[in-house]
Each structure stands twice: as structure tokens, then as C-alpha cells.
Homo-oligomer: A and B are copies of this chain.
């Protein structure tokens, strides 16, 4: 806008009138402004929308994950369900696209924002090295990041138009490890999610720190793509060790269920021979035999908080940080003292 005004030698409000198809500028000036605008690559819709102050009534969400990993776990559906609960009364829609990688995701933010397709975006799967907050800030695209971005105790970033809704994964991991420690476990393994994702790395780091503090004999993490296939593979690898772990912490319920199957395959009884904890509660965990000890969090509520935080930014509020309640550990039948413990 300012570039067009300078180039055409007119005021910014004249540019606004001309490009917004409003009266208040002479036909000659209007024509000159339009020529300059065209030369500078100005794009009608976005500008018209931005100038008119009209909102798109749409929040965007891009998911850069392996395609096969979407259909298996309940987390995203519950998150979207929560977002929809917040959007429905306001008649907003969610624009959703899956892409291959982070570069494509960033490109899509640029395009959606330039074309006025979204008012803001819900950013998921924050990484430890994440180019998105800086990009969003430079674009001025309002956003909420779901999940923390800090490592080593740093706070997740917020900004004038950037909010953050996060869960304290470190404290949650400590809760699980202490539950297992209290039962007598000293060899614990963690079947984690995707490496490089901030919450995965934070859980890995939390396990390492708590294991050192409690002087566990063994504590290790492996990363996966969150599918039951990779969860089962990880469980097989861990249980095939000469001195296998006596407890497994699985980053979602699908992998916890896969671990139960692998244990059965190897003739191990849960929880007599091996304890299993699911980092996600669902009807699955409550119905499986044995019922799974699970970390229960309200993912729909997480999604609702995220949408509310973004909508608050859109209505002119400052970026803010929302911490969702610490998930509760629900001890069920899948955790018990280790063999001989």
C-alpha cells in the first residue's frame, strides 16, 4: 500500500479508495493507482479484503506429517473437534491442508495470507528448530502455536499477533517416571513420537533428567512416526535386548496398544512381566484387557483454548500464553511392580 502510494505520488488513503472501489478519488488518479498497483504485483482479492477490513471468517491449519499417520490416532480429530466447537458459534470455518514438509507449510502461509484466504492460522507440531514463528511475525499473520516450543525450560515464544497454548510435558513425564519408580522400576524405555518435534524432544529430555536424578539403571527413548506399525517395531527392539526394560512409556494410545500386542507375542504378561503406560487416554485404554494406565488430557479442550486464543488476537488482543491443565495420570491394570521387584 505504502509502496503504491509513493510510486503513484498519492496518499495512502487515495490508494485505499481506488483499490477498494470506493468514491473519493478522481478517475485519472484511480487509473494511475491501478497501473502502479498492477506493475507492483498487487493482487485484487487479498488487497480488497485487507483494505475493506473484511475478515475471511476462516482460520487455517496446515499439517506437515506423513500422510499415513493422520488416520490412526485420535489426537488430531479431537483437536479439530475442539477448534470447531469454538468456531461454530462464530460461524467461522477451518481451512485444512496436508503438505509434505515444513517448506511447503511456510509457502502455504504466505499464499493464504497474500490471497486473504485466512484471518489467522493454528500452528501445530512445533519443532525445536522452527522457522515458523519468525515467518508469521514477518508476515503479520495472526497465529496460535499449539504446543510449546521451548527447550531446556525456555518459555515458548509469543508476539504481538502470536499466541501459544501449551501443555507442560516435562512435568507430565516426571509424573509417569515417579509412578513407575514408586512401583520399583529401574529400567524404563520411552517409545516417543516424531524426532525434532518440540514435545517429543521435551519428553525425551525430561526422561533423561528424571532418570539421572532418580539414578535409574536404564532409561532410553526411541522415536517413531506415531503409527502402530512403528510402535510395534520399537517395542520389539526394546524387548529383544539382553536386559530389556521392565516398563514402557508410549507417546500415544495406538502405540501402547501395539506394545501390548508385542508383549503377548513374546509370551510376556502385562503387567506381571512388563508395565505399559499410554500418553493419551481414550475409550481404547479403558476397554483393553488389561486396562491401560494412561495420561489423561482433554485434547478437545486444548483445541478450544487454541481457537479462543487466536480469535482473541484477531479481535485486537495481545498475543498471550495459555497453559492447559497438567494431564492426570490414571493408574489402571497395565502397571505393577516389575518381576522380582
Does chain B have a CB within 8 A of A179? no
Does chain B have a CB within 8 A of A71? yes
- Copies of this chain, complex-wide, total 2
A interface secondary structure, majority: helix
The 0/1 profile, CB within 8 Å of B marked 1, for residues 108-130 of chain A is 10000000110000000000000
- Which residues of chain B come closer than 8 Å to A108, judged between CB atoms? 93
- Decide: A31 and B35 in contact? CB cutoff 8 A: no
- Decide: A116 and B45 in contact? CB cutoff 8 A: yes
The segment from A2-10, A79-87, A310-318 found at the interface with B is A79-87
Does chain B have a CB within 8 A of A216? no
- Decide: A67 and B85 in contact? CB cutoff 8 A: yes
List residues of A whose CB falls within 8 A of some B CB. Answer: 19-23, 27-28, 30-31, 34-35, 37-38, 44-45, 48-49, 52, 58, 60, 67, 70-72, 74, 76-78, 80-82, 84-85, 87-88, 92-100, 108, 116-117, 228, 254, 257-258, 260-261, 283-284, 286-289, 299-300
Would you list the 10 A-B pairs with minimal beta carbon distance, nearest first? A27-B27, A93-B97, A71-B81, A84-B98, A77-B77, A70-B81, A44-B48, A71-B78, A289-B289, A27-B31
- Which residues of chain B come closer than 8 Å to A87, judged between CB atoms? 97-98
